């Protein structure tokens, strides 16, 4: 298996399946942060100590019996990747921006279907990430927990009886779990309810962030909703709270979609078809506008306004039209204007194939 396997396709294999509530919840993710005992955390570690972490993880991957999902996994070192290759992996949510930009001796272990991504020497020594399509946070947690237990057979974790698992960031101390879902909320944006709902969510201990997590911009009405604190809470309690809040968000979005269809159906259909027309004919389009138009079309697909366009194609274009993927496809560096032209061309080709 080569690096090209992970960078040539916008949609990971796990994303090709259709999960529960997939008209609103794009994906569910659980990330478990762990550090190895006897070694400084990444921010204080020397290069040789960081390399030792990678070596220990490689040894763990050779233990038998290997976990089934890791049988064809591949370890990629950040130092062996170009900036463009790393950016593509960020755009596919397989690594974090932090690992791509700032890590020392950073690496990632990717399963063949890309549902599992194990980041090494990111903010913590090990971050086990499991991704599932649709609304399946408990399923993602069960797999992450299995992998965590499997690694613990070989690796010794930094653990304190009083505090739990020790992590670089105090908000991750305890269980070390961060659970999140990516939601598509165009109707809440159109009906001006988003700004009232999000502050209420933060008051119950959850965070609403942009498409690539903390510090990132919300594009195409896509948001990540995740827990903020892990200390003093059991894993199941964290997942249960997230599920409960997201179920309410789903209900609010569905109600907003119903109201739009009942009260402003013609303007909504006009907006959807205009966005489809622009995507199908534009010669130049920015990343931000492309995401907005794709969000409109995806809503049209989910509401049955458009029947000849696949939701999976919209998901694919939301990744393919990002700067890294565009340049990977072109096999060259592109400036902003060149990317806008190529982005428009790529979208037109996909839309016309659907037609």
Average pLDDT over residues 53-82: 93
pLDDT digit string, tens, across residues 221-230: 999 999 887 7
Phi-psi group of 282: left, alpha or beta (phi > 0 → left; psi -120 to 50 → alpha; rest → beta): beta
Q: Is 179 marked as a binding-site residue?
A: yes
Calpha distance 147→330 (Å, rounded): 37
Calpha distance 245→345 (Å, rounded): 39
* Helix, strand or coil, per DSSP, at residue 298: helix
Average pLDDT over residues 182-204: 90
Average pLDDT over residues 4-28: 81
Query: Which range (49-58, 146-155, 228-237) has the least confidence?
Result: 228-237
pLDDT digit string, tens, across residues 254-306: 999 999 999 999 999 999 999 999 999 999 999 999 999 999 999 999 999 99
Q: What percent of the chain has pLDDT over 90?
A: 63
pLDDT digit string, tens, across residues 134-163: 999 999 999 999 999 999 999 999 988 888
Q: Is 163 marked as a binding-site residue?
A: no
Sign of the dihedral defined by the CA atoms of residues 77, 80, 86, 89, in that order: negative
Q: Is 168 marked as a binding-site residue?
A: no
Q: Is 117 marked as a binding-site residue?
A: no
Average pLDDT, the chain: 90
Average pLDDT over residues 97-123: 92
70, 146 contact by CB (below 8 A): no
Q: Is 220 marked as a binding-site residue?
A: no
Distance of CA 84 to the CA centre of its chain: 18
Average pLDDT over residues 93-112: 90
Q: Evaluate if residue 1 carries a pLDDT over 60.
A: no
Q: Is 126 marked as a binding-site residue?
A: no
Helices (H) and strands (E) in the chain, counts: 13, 10
pTM above threshold 0.75: yes
Domain ranges of the chain: 3-255, 264-354
Average pLDDT over residues 15-24: 84
Q: Is 212 marked as a binding-site residue?
A: yes
Per-residue confidence (pLDDT) for residue 188, from 0 to 100 = 95
Element (H, E) at 29: strand 25-34
Per-residue confidence (pLDDT) for residue 213, from 0 to 100 = 62
Average pLDDT over residues 209-221: 73
Q: Is 210 marked as a binding-site residue?
A: yes
Q: Is 209 marked as a binding-site residue?
A: yes
Token reading at 235: 């894993």
Q: Is 128 marked as a binding-site residue?
A: no
Output 218 or 313, whichever has higher pLDDT: 313
Q: Is 32 marked as a binding-site residue?
A: no
Q: Is 178 marked as a binding-site residue?
A: yes
Q: Is 31 marked as a binding-site residue?
A: yes
Token reading at 219: 């594009």
Three-state SS annotation for 187-246: HHHHCCCHHHHHHHHHCCCEEEEECCECCCCCCCCEEEEEECCCCCCCHHHHHHHHHHHH
Q: Evaluate if residue 354 carries a pLDDT over 70.
A: no
Helix axes of 287-302 and 336-354: crossing angle, nearest 10 degrees: 20
Per-residue confidence (pLDDT) for residue 231, from 0 to 100 = 67
250, 24 contact by CB (below 8 A): yes
Q: Is 259 marked as a binding-site residue?
A: no
Per-residue confidence (pLDDT) for residue 70, from 0 to 100 = 93
Count CA atoms within 13 Å of residue 339 on its CB side. Answer: 19
Q: Is 93 marked as a binding-site residue?
A: yes
Per-residue confidence (pLDDT) for residue 320, from 0 to 100 = 87
Average pLDDT over residues 321-349: 92
What is the band of 176 on the pLDDT scale with cuts at 50, 70, 90?
Answer: confident
Burial 125-159 (b: 16+ CB within 10 A, else e): bbbbbbbbbbbbbbbbbebbbebbebbeeebebbe
CATH code 3.40.109.10 for 3-255: no
Contacts of 234 (CB under 8 A, 6+ apart): 175
Average pLDDT over residues 65-78: 92
What is the band of 49 on the pLDDT scale with cuts at 50, 70, 90?
Answer: very high
Q: Is 4 marked as a binding-site residue?
A: no
Q: What angle do CA 184, 147, 9 make, to 5 degrees?
A: 45
């Amino acid at each position: 298996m080569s690096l090209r396997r992970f960078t040539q396709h916008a949609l990971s294999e796990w994303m090709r399946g259709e999960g529960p509530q997939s008209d609103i919840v794009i994906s569910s993710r659980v990330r478990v942060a762990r550090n190895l005992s006897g070694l400084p955390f990444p921010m204080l570690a020397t290069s040789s100590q960081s390399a030792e972490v990678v070596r220990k993880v490689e040894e763990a991957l050779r233990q038998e019996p290997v976990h089934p999902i890791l049988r064809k996994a591949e370890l990629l070192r950040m130092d062996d990747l170009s900036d463009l290759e790393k950016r593509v992996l960020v755009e596919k949510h397989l690594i974090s921006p932090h690992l791509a930009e700032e890590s020392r001796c950073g690496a990632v272990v990717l399963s063949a279907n890309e549902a599992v991504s194990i980041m090494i020497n990111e903010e913590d020594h090990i971050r086990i990430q499991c991704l599932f399509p649709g609304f399946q946070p408990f399923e993602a947690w069960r797999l992450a927990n299995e992998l965590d237990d499997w690694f613990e057979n070989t690796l010794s974790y930094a653990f304190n009886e009083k505090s739990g698992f020790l992590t670089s960031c105090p908000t991750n101390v305890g269980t070390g779990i961060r659970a999140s879902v990516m939601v598509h909320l165009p109707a809440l944006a159109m009906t001006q309810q988003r700004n009232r709902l999000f502050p209420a969510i933060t008051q119950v201990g959850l965070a609403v962030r942009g498409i690539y997590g903390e510090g990132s911009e919300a594009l195409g009405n896509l948001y990540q909703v995740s827990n903020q604190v892990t200390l003093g809470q059991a894993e199941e309690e964290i997942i249960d709270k997230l599920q409960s809040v997201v179920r309410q968000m789903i209900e609010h979005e569905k109600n907003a979609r119903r109201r739009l269809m009942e009260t402003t159906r013609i303007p909504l259909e006009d907006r959807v078809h205009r966005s489809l027309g622009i995507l199908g004919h534009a010669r130049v389009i920015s990343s931000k506008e492309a995401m907005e138009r794709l969000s409109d079309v995806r809503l049209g697909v989910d509401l049955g306004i458009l029947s000849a366009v696949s939701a999976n194609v919209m998901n694919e274009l939301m990744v393919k039209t990002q700067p890294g993927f565009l340049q990977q496809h072109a096999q060259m560096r592109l400036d902003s204007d060149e990317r806008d032209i190529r982005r428009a061309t790529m979208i037109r080709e996909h839309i016309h194939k659907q037609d």
